[in-house]
Amino acid sequence: MFIPRHPVVENQFCQYKAQTSITAGVGGVLAYAGAVCYLVEASTSQDAIVSIYDYNQTNETTASGEKIPFGFLMQKVKVGYHDVHPTGFVMPGDLGSSDVIAQPAYSTTGVINGTKEAPVGVAHLGIWDTIHYIVHYSGTIPAATALAPMLPGHMLYVNNNSGGVNLAGTSKVTNYHVVNETDGKYTNIGTAVARVVKGASTAQCQANVNNTTLYPIRIKLLI
C-alpha cells in the first residue's frame, strides 16, 4: 500500500512538543510562526511531534536524537494564562487568531509542571512570505548594523537568535551561514531550508534588525 497524502492538510495534525521547563502561565511564547522545526524522534506516541531548535543546536543525525529540519511552523505557539486566569481562559485578542495555546500539564499531585502537546500546522515547499529571518550584521541585536541586503537566490539556513536563552521561541532562517555567536547565535545545522525569491534592501534589513518596520521577504521552501 502506498497512498498519497496532501501535505498541507496532513501537517495540520502535527503536535508541538510538550514542555517540562515552562510552568509560568501568562501567555508566554513557546515558538513563533515561521520558525523552523524538526520531528522529535524520541516521542512517546506515534503522532508527528515537532519542536524548534535550542540555542546553538547541533545537527544530530543519530537514532538517539534526529534533528534534521522538517518544516516551518504555520502558527505561533504559546502557553495559557493559568497564573492569572482560570485554566482554559482565552484573551479576547486570541479569538479569531491562529495562535496555538498549549494547555498546562499536571503532576500526580496536581501541580502544574509544564505544558501538554498542542496541535500545530507545519508548512512545506511552495512559496511563502515571511518576516521571520536574520541577515548578516555586525554588533549585537538590537544595536546592530545590517551589512548586506537579502537578495533573490540567497540560500537560507537555520539559526537561533534567542541570545543564548534556551526555548526562547526563535528558530529563524538566515542568508549568512556560519557558526558565529556575534552574528546571531547561528546553529551548526548546514541544511538549506529555503531560497530567497523576493528579498529586501540593506535599509529594509536594517529596519527588520531594529524591529521598527518588519519587511517581508518571499521565499521558496526547500523542505
3-state secondary structure 141-190: CCEEEECCCECCCCEEEEECCCCCCCCCCCCCEECCCCCCHHHCCECCCC
pLDDT at 114: 79
182 pLDDT more than 60:
no
Average pLDDT over residues 116-142: 86
* pLDDT number for residue 153: 92
* Each residue's pLDDT tens digit, 40-50: 876 667 788 99
Give the residue from 189, 184, 197 showing the smallest Cα distance to 146: 184
Mean pLDDT in residue range 187-191? 75
Q: Where are the domains of the chain?
A: 7-123, 127-221
Global confidence as pTM:
0.85
In this structure, what DSSP letter does residue 106 have? E
**Cα(159)–Cα(156) distance, integer angstroms:** 9
CA 186, CA 190: separation in Å to the nearest integer?
10
Q: Give 24's pLDDT tier (boundaries 50, 70, 90).
A: confident
pLDDT of residue 183: 53
Whole-angstrom CA distances from 131 to 51, 134, 211 are 20, 9, 10
